A and B are shown apart, each in its own frame.
Chain A
C-alpha cells in the first residue's frame, strides 16, 4: 500500500474518531477540544489534496476563531455542564438510525462512483503549475467582475451583519430610563 494511502487512513481516522468523541463526550469542554482535533484532521485532508491555502484558512478560521468562540460560550454557560445527566435527548436512537441510514445510502452510491462517472476520480490530474498559482487565481476570481466579485461583496456584508447582529443579540438588556439619564 502506498505511503500516501497510509497517511490518508491515519488522518481520516483521527478526524472521524475525534468527530465521534465530539458528539458523544459528556463533558462539553472536552468535546470542544476534540472538535479542534477533528478540524486539524480536516486541515490534514486539505494538505493531502494539495491545497495548502485551504489548510491554512482552516487553521485560522476554525481552530483559531470558531473553536475559541465555542469554548467561550461553553465557559459562559458553565453551570449546566453537569456530567451526570444524559447528554442526549429522548429521540437519540432515531437520530442515530437516521444518520446510519444516510451513511449507508451515501456509501452505496459512492462505492459505485467509478462506474457511474467513468474517468473521474481514479487519479487526480497532474497540474503542478495550476496548483502553484492557485492563490493568485483565487484572488483574481474574487475581484474579477465576470466571476465572484458580487458573491465576495455579499460575503463581506454578511460578516458585517453577523458581527453587528451578534453584538446586539448578546448585549445585556439595558433599562431605557437608566439609558436616558
Chain B
C-alpha cells in the first residue's frame, strides 16, 4: 500500500512547480497554465485525504468537484481577459500590462 505522505509529497512538488511558473513566467497564458497546475495539486491532496481518512463521507470528493468548477470558471474568464488585452495592447507579456499604474 502506498503511504499517504507519498501523495502529499507529489502534491507539494506539483504546487511548488506551479508557483514557480506563476512567479517566473512572462507570458500571461503560461502563468494561467501554472495556476491550473497548482489547482491540480490541491485536488490531489483533497482526494488523498478523502481516501485515507473517511472514504464513506463524500466531503473530500465534493470539494474537489467545486475546485474543478472554480478552475473552469477561472480559466474561461482569465483567457477572455487575455484575449481582450491582446486586442488592445498587442501583447500578453505580463510586465508590459501596466496601464493601471498611470
* Chain A residues in the interface with B (C-beta under 8 A): 2, 4-5, 8, 12, 15-16, 19-20, 22-23, 28, 31-32, 35, 38-39, 42, 45-46, 48-51, 53-54, 57, 61-62, 65-66, 69-70, 72-74, 76-77, 79-80, 86-89, 91-92, 94-96, 98-100, 102-103, 106-107, 110-111, 113-114, 120-125, 127, 130-131, 134, 137-138, 140-142, 147-148, 151, 155, 158-159, 161-163, 165-167, 169-170, 172
Contact = CB atoms under 8 A, between A and B. Distances in A.
A65 B5 CA distance: 31
B24 to A, nearest CB: 4
Given A19-B14, A57-B65, A161-B73, 19 more contacts: A16-B10, A23-B17, A46-B44, A49-B48, A66-B71, A70-B32, A73-B82, A76-B86, A77-B82, A77-B86, A87-B26, A95-B19, A99-B23, A106-B15, A107-B9, A122-B3, A124-B52, A159-B72, A165-B80
Interface in B7-66: 7-10, 12-27, 29-30, 32-34, 36-37, 40, 43-44, 47-48, 50-56, 58-59, 61-62, 64-66
User: By DSSP majority rule, is chain B's interface helix, strand, loop, or mixed?
Assistant: helix
Nearest to A19: B17
Interface size class of B (residues with CB under 8 A): 35 or more
B97 interface: no
Interface of B: 1-10, 12-27, 29-30, 32-34, 36-37, 40, 43-44, 47-48, 50-56, 58-59, 61-62, 64-66, 68-77, 79-84, 86-87, 90-95
B2 A138 contact: no
Given A38-B40, A61-B68, A138 B34 contact: no
A23 B16 CA distance: 11
Nearest to B4: A121
Contacts, number: 252
A66 B1 contact: no
A89 B98 CA distance: 15
